[in-house]
Each structure stands twice: as structure tokens, then as C-alpha cells.
């Protein structure tokens, strides 16, 4: 899979139609939509547990403590994350019902394959933001 043209969420037609709330953090941007949120993390960061806790605190402020959300990591940049955090996030917060990882290169696809092994819930690897968003809207959890 050669590196494909990346699409930032703000450059997509979904940005206006979904009326997303933009949450700017020092390590990336998050877009909070009705049933899911999208992350676009900065190049080269390590998405560690402290950053995850900071994001989840903001999600709970915005959606409420009993929210059940889809998560779309739009991997427009290269960054690292410990794949074990998927299970830890699930056990600690139980906020994510499914994830659609948007990959643009062979490396991000391989990382997504690895992460899929650590998350007990559904993870779909997508090759476009459109595919990820449409998949989210098709989830049984949101019907």
C-alpha cells in the first residue's frame, strides 16, 4: 500500500455537515461529532496514557460520563501509541464502542493490524475518511 493522499477532516465535506466541535490539544486536534469523535494527532508524538486521560476527560465533559462513542483515528501523521492502551481505555473508561482507523500507508496499516489484536471491540481499517464515517453510521450500536 503506497502512501496515499491524506485528507484532514477540516478539508472534507463532512466538517460542515456534521457540525463537529473542534477540540485543540497540544498534541493534536479532535473533532467531536454526535456519535463519534475523530483524532488527528501531531507528527512524531507518543500518544501516552497521560494524553489519553486528558482527551477522555474532555470527551466526558462534552458528551457526559455515560457516553458510548465511535472513535476514528485519522492517521494523517506518523505517531506512536502503545497497543495495550486499547484494552486499558476499555477497562478504565468503557466509552468507545468501536473504532475505524483511517490508514494512508503500509506502516499505518501494519500498526492498525497490531492494535486490532489488543481491542476486544470492533476495529475496522479504512482507506478513507468517507469509508470510516459511513461505517460508523452503519453500526448497530448507533441504531
Say what the pLDDT of residue 2 is. 43
- Phi and psi based region of residue 3 (left: phi greater than 0; alpha: psi -120 to 50; beta: remaining): beta
Say what the pLDDT of residue 114 is. 72
Helix, coil or strand: residue 57: helix
Residues of the chain where predicted confidence (pLDDT) is lower than 70: 1-4, 118
Beta strands 69-73; 36-41: pairing state: parallel
DSSP assigned state of 5: P
Domains of the chain: 9-142 (3.30.750)
Say what the pLDDT of residue 66 is. 92
Laid out side by side, the sheet with 36-41 consists of: 21-25, 28-32, 36-41, 69-73, 96-102, 122-126
80, β-bridge pairs = 46
Backbone angles phi, psi at 26, to 5 degrees: -60, -20
Instruction: Tell me the residue ranges of DSSP E strands in the chain.
Output: 21-25, 28-32, 36-41, 46-47, 69-73, 80-81, 96-102, 122-126
Tell me the percentage of the chain whose pLDDT exceeds 90. Answer: 65
Amino acid at each position: 500500500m503506497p502512501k496515499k493522499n491524506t485528507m484532514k477532516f477540516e478539508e472534507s465535506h463532512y466538517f460542515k455537515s456534521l457540525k463537529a466541535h473542534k477540540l485543540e490539544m497540544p498534541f493534536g486536534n479532535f473533532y467531536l461529532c454526535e456519535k463519534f469523535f475523530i483524532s488527528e494527532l501531531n507528527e512524531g508524538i507518543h500518544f501516552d496514557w497521560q494524553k489519553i486521560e486528558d482527551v477522555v476527560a474532555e470527551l466526558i465533559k462534552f458528551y457526559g460520563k455515560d457516553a458510548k462513542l465511535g472513535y476514528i483515528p485519522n492517521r494523517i501523521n506518523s505517531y506512536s501509541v502503545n497497543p495495550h492502551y486499547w484494552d486499558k481505555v476499555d477497562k478504565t473508561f468503557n466509552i468507545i464502542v468501536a473504532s475505524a482507523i483511517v490508514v494512508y500507508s503500509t506502516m499505518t496499516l501494519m500498526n492498525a493490524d497490531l492494535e486490532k489484536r489488543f481491542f476486544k471491540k470492533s476495529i475496522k481499517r479504512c482507506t478513507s475518511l468517507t469509508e470510516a464515517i459511513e461505517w460508523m453510521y452503519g453500526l448497530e450500536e448507533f441504531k
